[in-house]
Structure 1
């Protein structure tokens, strides 16, 4: 079943075509990734498909009986509304049914209540509020009464994502959904989309996401569109084959054009009209032979300062805010060539640690000792603020007029900007005209021309296209100084880091030796071991051990502890039974007050069960 069709779509800005003659379709079950370099027009294309922007040419058709959900890069809602009201303000029919049901309860309108309850049954909407809080919680939004206007940019994006996921559309369109998400949430979203029946069109630079979620690629390249079946790995192979074939076709056209050009020059002017068809064919051949593949890769070849033997020493540092301890008694001595990734949920203190390393924050306890030769380069999301009325080249010249490359050569700022994909014309554009990816490239350039030897990259992959990421990775692989990376891009971490600081919560930071995939494998193994220890709670018979053969260091449970252990087993079974009964009630439906009460009770029971299981484990180890 075809959900969406785009025929001969074209869009220009000024006298330059962004893309032209684009034909594209999405059928039920497709999970399509839209790929292209920064400036290729990906977001523009999505806005045309969703009707937010008109096409200059062509037509978009969407099947009448399907619902489309669109998450754009900068969602906006009424800033005075609480988060939960933002979710319920959508055109989602389930949300509207729940609102009518709640209104009928408040007003005491029995007829309206009866009709609303019928609709609640029809749309299976009884657990909608529970699902809303669950998805918001997964996305790191726990205070549903907080006003939307009080949220950060990343939190607003996550609320918008929850809203569009809860709408359960037939066709889901997502523009950079993994930006501003921590790694656990990216993996949850990946699994959610993999297990749902939703048809998907997504723009993302997350290569693992592309590989595991998407089954089709649509590439925008030099104003044209190319479709590939399969995941991202297959796309790379097929794209290389296409480019080889195109290069061969251009070479063939150029050879043929030389012969045709010689023929045209030899024809008498008076006979020109007798072979007009051949002259017309020559013009088409000339256009094909003149095709030139634009090299869109950056050239990161900037010199770095020498780094001495003493770098940074974190000596038992502790830091907290508002009575909450984010980092407790952490120590580490950086060595030359360190490549460290930092992972943890949002709000656990990752940026706090980075700011203590650079000296922007002082620890509450302990000290940070910095070597004399350390030159920081700190790439962070919050620094993406420029004077909108300043030109690109002037901003860079404020830092340096010339720059020395890693080869020892000295280049002008204009030449360096070109190697960062800023054409001579683009260098004199105002900042206000730059795309998000272009601003990121400019920010990276401003950091690297200062020749740092200790690089800190806080979410560097946001807004950068895949081609630019590949070049950045190659540069960082050969970077001789220290490298610290906070990123939700698992592929980026796997290529670049050798060990990881894991923020475990409550101020604890552990140092794992390996990359991100190795960390996740280790964590999965730990979880599997826990499950084998506690499959389903059953009575444990503690054998009688003669006192004289009890090994040194071991002890039997006391009578009181044995009784406690038996009681814990009974309690856990009762909690599980009660939770199962509550889930059945939620699925069957009830009043709003009942549903809310059941949801709260399930959360409380889960916490009680976790505490009792932990105590049972302690006793079983002693036994």
Structure 2
């Protein structure tokens, strides 16, 4: 195979951190390489070096026979003034892209079809689209361009299980030629196993190469660690002998050759520093009675869409359920209904008296109020001491075991990386010792090392577990059964697991839910006069009047926002060639989106009081 990219003894330091330390590696034609490693370990920097976006301090990077490079970064680089058609297809004539089965496959797999229904049509502006939709557009644009070397930084973000399976199949089918290659940073272990011919682990400034995908990487790494343990045991034996000799009296030392002392000092110096390992503890779980949470003939309506349609579900103690479905099918809504954080349009929710419920949302909103706190303060806010097994440990000791070592405990929460915030969020939830755990996309921002630690915790979880995730590996590893939301408001059991879900989706393409355009979305409305507030405290007439006033006020504000939005859209269309002005207008649109989300939540809270 042709050598497309060669890296020879490359070194790169960012501040005081040595990200690359005399790294040598190569990308060959036909390679599909998965890149794994700890958050902040240098994976993205390595990708930028390979793509020519960042130079190295020393060493050499050569690209021979690379006619084009495509990079999917984690940052959004789309032009908000462009239409979907302009961003994805550029100036390609319709007869060209419509007659190319590879391009049609991309449009169908990522944008919902030739008409790009999933993102509001080919003529929709990019600016108002959601983050997930823009991510799909950026990926679709790259795949349509088909560069020689394709660099993907977390390509499965914002993709559902079906989308991840499609992307893996597309890359294997179209990126296996000897004249192209793909390098992908990913924490999705199923995706890694499905596409990778090689796996690179970035750790401590080095890049360790393994043949094959995730399974082969785990086996090879275990064998390397076994060999390292044998070497360490031999070194320890030598150390014990040499140190015993050094501890003898001065006459014994002076009568021995000096090289014995030098040899002992060399052995001591060769002792490697301990890794900054993350250890998620098995916190005690409060005893769970026979009654957990029941949904009885429950429905949830958002605007004119029925997300849950007369669902009856009895959660059993110790049940472990994985939930799959396309984006917009109602997975998060189902979790919120079980958690009791959303009003039911009809039906009832019952909760057992012994239930202690913890709910991990997709966002890290729980940490917003702690933005100016230090890590140690955020942990102590839950508990200053916790008992693990027979030992009582302090919050500082706990933070140390979670990878927040030394001065990192004094870091402000707002300065933590996404993965560190997610880890902190999980720990705070577990420290409260819940017995019902609801996890909505728990793998977001977590590296593989933390994921395996989380799964180890869940293995010993004695309570009830519900997981919404596009991480197929996690669903099959941590859950005993899977259920699916197919977009018709029903919950369907999957005896055949995720594979059965993909078969059902393939057989019923019409089941794809129609996701409304984000800027045409209405506030989530629960039907009045329902049983959704069953079990809620009775409201006084004054409280009901105040809630109705709040609803009317919010509806007026939403109407004014809609008018502002229309005016900005008109200005964007009139100023399409003035990129500076379009960017300013796009920022105003983003502010409208944020303001509307807050208002819709406020409306929902008031609607829940009214019933």
TM-score relative to the length of structure 1: 0.72
Within the candidate set 382, 392, 397, 1:399 is matched to: 382
* 1:171 shift after superposition: 0.8
1:467-488 CA deviation, whole Å, 9 max, x = no partner? 2222211211221111111011
Residue in structure 1 matching 2:312, options 322, 331, 340 = 331
1:12-411 paired onto structure 2 within 5 Å: 12-63=13-64, 65-88=66-89, 95-96=90-91, 98=92, 133-138=107-112, 140-197=118-175, 198-253=180-235, 287=269, 289-294=270-275, 296-384=277-365, 386=368, 387-405=370-388, 407=389, 409-411=391-393
Name the CA distance, whole Å, in 2 between partners of 1:44 and 1:422. 22
Indicate whether 1:512 and 2:490 are aligned: no
Residue 500 of structure 2 is aligned to residue 487 of structure 1: no
Query: Deviation per CA, 1:60-84, whole angstroms, max 9, x where unpaired?
Result: 2222542111112223322233332
How many aligned positions are there?
A: 492
Higher relative contact order (CA 8 A, sep 6+): 2
31 and 297 in structure 1: CA distance in 2 versus 1, 3 angstrom threshold: same
Cα displacement (A) at 1:340: 1.2
| Alpha-carbon offset, residue 6 of structure 1 | 1.5
SS in 2 for 1:336: coil
- Where in structure 2 are the equivalents of 1:518-529 lying within 5 Å? 519-520=501-502
Identify if the C-alpha distance between structure 1 residues 143 and 380 changes in structure 2 by more than 3 Å, giving closer, same or farther.
farther
Q: CA deviation digits over 1:254-292, x for unaligned, max 9? A: 6567788879x98989x98xx8xx9998876554x2214
Determine the C-alpha separation between the residues in 2 that align with 1:516 and 1:126.
30
Q: Retained in 1: the 8 A contact 2:364–2:422?
A: no
Name the SS of the counterpart of 1:361 in structure 2: coil
Is contact 1:250–1:291 with CA below 8 Å preserved after alignment? no
SS at structure 2 position matched to 1:148: coil
Deviation at 1:330, TM superposition (A): 0.8
**What do the CA deviations read for 1:2-26 (whole angstroms, capped 9, x no partner)?**
1111222223343342341111100
Q: 1:433 to 1:18 in 2, by over 3 A?
A: farther
Structure 1: any 5+ residue segments left out of the alignment? 89-94, 103-119, 528-623
Question: 1:195 deviation in Å?
Answer: 0.6
Partner Cα separation in structure 1 for residue 331 and residue 483 of structure 2: 9
Kindly indicate whether residue 441 of structure 2 is the aligned counterpart of residue 459 of structure 1.
yes
Measured in 2, the distance between the counterparts of 1:518 and 1:507 equals 18
State the 1:394 CA deviation.
Answer: 1.6
Deviation (angstroms), 1:43: 1.7
Secondary structure (helix, strand or coil) at the match of 1:201 reads: strand
Contact 1:190 1:209 (8 Å CA) reproduced: yes
Q: CA deviation at 1:182?
A: 0.7
Larger Rg belongs to: 1
